[in-house]
Amino acid sequence: MKLDIISSPLLTDLYQLTMLQGYLDKGMTGKAVFEFFVRNLPPERGFLVACGLETLLACLESMRFQDDEIDYLVGAGRFSGRLIDYLRGFRFSGDVYALPEGTVFFAQEPVVRIVAPLPMAQFIETRLINILQYEILIASKAARCFLAADDRAILVDFGLRRAHGAEAGLLAARASYIAGFRGTSTVIAEPLLGIPGNGTMAHSFIQAHHSELDAFINFCRSNPGNTTLLIDTYDTLTGAARAVTAASLLTREGIRVNAVRLDSGDILTLSKAVRNILDRGGFPKIKIFVSGNMDEFSIRDLLGRGAPIDGFGVGTKLDTSADVPYLECAYKLMSYEGKPRLKKSPGKVTLPGAKQIYRRMENGIMAGDLLTIAADSAPGTPLLKQVMAAGGRIEDPLDLNAIAASAQHQLKALPAHFRRLAAAPPYPVAIAPALADLARETEAAVASG
């Protein structure tokens, strides 16, 4: 099964088309360099996690105008025949440089660099930002949940139903898996992406039955390989006791109850009481799974206070990145026809030219980054890698598990205070002399007209 994101090139902003018309009318088709970056980190974030590259590359590869889309543009009456002809034959043929997915990054650091003819590089802006911002948001939120769990509990994405659209729910499953989650409740993510499916039951299943015990037994008999019982529909402790009764009866049939789920109430107190009931009932191996408005802070606090929880379903606050719902990110022109370009708008100043990031490590821990021009070299490891040349991938897509393993390695290399979810002190990102000089020269050239 192939991942099919919304692929129509009409999913863009109108000004992309009006700018293209202006570029083509003036013959402005020289080579342009654009970079996507985050201007400033939100106060609640000390770091971000690169994500969405594979989704973006798939989008660029498939970006074509269909006949009915061309007919719409002709009928709209806004566009010249020159633009229509250009779009009819549109194929992305540029070069792409990017941070590998799962890479930790910081403000002002380029995540993706596009090198292509100006109209082409401009046209992809809207969808590029749309894809990258969302997957970065979710991967970064999920990484914080993963750090909070600290290998003490597994995490599962439960957020599809409250995600901001179907595509968002699927991409959240992908981004959270990269960041360390073990699975998702989103069924289509398993055949499309290979992410393990996880699910339990809803309260309505319990309510539909004559009794809670009947519901437990019926569910397990129908789903003997997926036996997690939701025990808080009526009274959680009574539900736990009935789960013990159900487990005793089902054991005789060769069916094992794997877990119980708590979705409400004082989770700290209830989880301890439920653990006691399960243990006293002779089922110490039945796990406790918790859901209900979980995030990195509730996970950290519950586990830190000794809650005997084996897993968390993280939903609404993950798939909406509730505390940080957007990033101050941008996709800006860095050079055109070999000449560096910058922007001086207050609060939105850009650094000119194609750039590279060099990262220093000390004893396996990230120690500082240097942002410099792409032609420069510096101590450390260069982070941006070429992933597409002339519109074609340089290498086959990485397996999602390999990306996730790389992300775990990155998170382990974070300075200790970031692993504790503290945003300060900020990570050191220095501007190299070569880039500072280029910025001054470009500013002087702009000032001279």
* Predicted confidence (pLDDT) per residue in 149-176, tens digit: 999 999 999 999 999 999 999 999 999 9
Residue 12: what pLDDT? Answer: 96
Q: How much of the chain, in percent, has pLDDT values that exceed 70?
A: 98
pLDDT above 70 (res 429): yes
Residue 346: what pLDDT? Answer: 87
pLDDT above 80 (res 5): no
Residue 3: what pLDDT? Answer: 54
pLDDT tens-place string over residues 63-96:
999 999 999 999 999 999 999 999 999 999 999 9
Residue 348: what pLDDT? Answer: 84
How sure is the predictor about 108, in pLDDT bands with cuts at 50, 70 and 90?
A: very high
Residue 370: what pLDDT? Answer: 98
Residue 343: what pLDDT? Answer: 87
What are the structural domains of the chain? 14-138+324-447 (3.20.140.10), 199-290 (3.20.20.70)
pLDDT tens-place string over residues 253-276:
999 999 999 999 999 999 999 999
pLDDT tens-place string over residues 319-370:
999 999 999 999 999 999 999 999 888 888 899 999 999 999 999 999 999 9
pLDDT above 80 (res 203): yes
CA 215, CA 230: separation in Å to the nearest integer?
Answer: 10
pLDDT above 60 (res 1): no
Q: Which two tokens stand for residue 186?
A: 């989103």
Residue 351: what pLDDT? Answer: 95
pLDDT above 80 (res 431): yes
Helix axes 67-76, 81-88, angle to 10 degrees: 170
pLDDT above 70 (res 6): no
Segment 146-150 shows an average pLDDT of 98
Segment 431-449 shows an average pLDDT of 91
How sure is the predictor about 447, in pLDDT bands with cuts at 50, 70 and 90?
A: confident
Residue 446: what pLDDT? Answer: 85
β-pair partners for 311:
154, 289
Segment 135-154 shows an average pLDDT of 98
Residue 184: what pLDDT? Answer: 98
Residue 2: what pLDDT? Answer: 55
Mean of pLDDT over the chain: 96
